[in-house]
Amino acid sequence: MASSLRKPLIAGNWKMHLTLAESVALAKAVKDGSANAPGEVAVFAPFTALSVVAEVLKGSPVRLGAQDLHWETHGAYTGEVSANQIKDVGCQMTLIAHSERRRLFHETDENVNKKLKAAFAAGLVPVLCVGETLEEREAQRTFKVLQTQLEEGLKGFAPAALAPLVIAYEPVWAIGTGKTATPDQAQEAHLFIRKTCARLYGEAWASGLRILYGGSVTPENVDTLMAQPDVDGALVGGASLKVPGFIRIIQFQLPAGAKR
Ligand code: 13P
């Protein structure tokens, strides 16, 4: 189900890395290196750096995102940051339900659903992360896990509200391990996600939905991953912190005869 309607998106997730000075330097390099990129580019900076990175990216097509948010608009929630605050600092996007949030900080599908609603209400583009652990893959439960994360996370929306959503398939066993999913494994999971979304909210929406792959993406493997018909981009962790490697990922090149 390749679609030229789906503009590729390459995003860097900086996780809990970088000082302000390092963030500014990396944002400048990403901005400069994005000229004539084949797709859109985004960076997900730590909360502390959003303000300075927003300043660097002002007027550039590079999108800025936060790594998480709280679902309430304001209130006594010490340590949390709301969608409106994220928007106010200059973000257009936010990650939701990264596997590190699910695994290490007990993110539930119920809260994921509330966070998605809050992001949409604030006009942010959410990137909903889904993916199975190694144990779940080995027990042949990959599709079941993805199905539950999608059904529960995406519960109760009007289809039109979901239009801006981006999904990131990030198999937990591939994150930070150097064990990238093979292009076939990524394609199989992405196709399953698209079909599940079509069943939940209709073929028209699902065929335009961008699904990113994340998990040990590198300058060496990005081209073959991006050649898969249902891989619409990449969510890059470790390799997004390094220039010029991340610039090479942004400037991916489809092999001759690629299906997308
Ligand atoms: P790595 O690219 O370091 O494997 O991380 C992937 C990731 O978690 C992006 O959100």
* Mean pLDDT, contiguous 10-residue spans, the chain (260 residues): 78 98 98 97 98 98 98 98 98 98 97 98 98 97 98 95 97 95 97 98 96 98 97 98 98 86
pLDDT tens per residue, range 83-142: 999 999 999 999 999 999 999 999 999 999 999 999 999 999 999 999 999 999 999 999
Q: Which two tokens stand for residue 199?
A: 């069943």
Query: Residue 39 has what pLDDT?
Result: 97
Query: Residue 43 has what pLDDT?
Result: 99
Query: Residue 3 has what pLDDT?
Result: 54
Using the atom order of ligand 1, give the atom closest to the CA of residue 215: 4
Q: Which two tokens stand for residue 188?
A: 């199989």
Query: Residue 4 has what pLDDT?
Result: 60
Helix (H, G, I), strand (E, B) or coil at 96: strand
Q: Is the CB of 185 under 6 A from ligand 1?
A: no
Q: For residue 75, how far is its CA from the centre of ligand 1 (angstroms)?
A: 32
Residue 168, phi then psi, degrees to nearest 5: -120, 120
**Do 26 and 243 touch, CB atoms closer than 8 A?**
yes
Among 9, 13, 94, say which to mutate for ligand 1: greatest number of ligand atoms within 8 Å of CB: 13
Residue in the block written with tokens 């330097």: 25
Angle at 201 (CA atoms; ends 200, 206), nearest 5 degrees: 105
Q: Is the CB of 11 under 6 A from ligand 1?
A: no
N-term to C-term CA, the chain? 8
HEC sequence for 27-71: HHHHHHHCCCCCCEEEEECCHHHHHHHHHHHCCCCCEEEECCCEC
Cα–Cα distance for residue pair 70/258, rounded to 1 Å: 40
Single out the residue of 204, 184, 180 nearest to residue 194, CA to CA.
204
Question: Atom 9 of ligand 1 has which residue's CA nearest to it?
Answer: 237
Q: Catalytic: which of 98, 100, 132, 136?
A: 98
**Residue 17 appears among annotated catalytic residues:** no
Would you identify the CATH topology of the domain 126-233?
A: TIM Barrel (3.20.20)
Residue in the block written with tokens 């005869």: 257
Cα–Cα distance for residue pair 202/208, rounded to 1 Å: 11
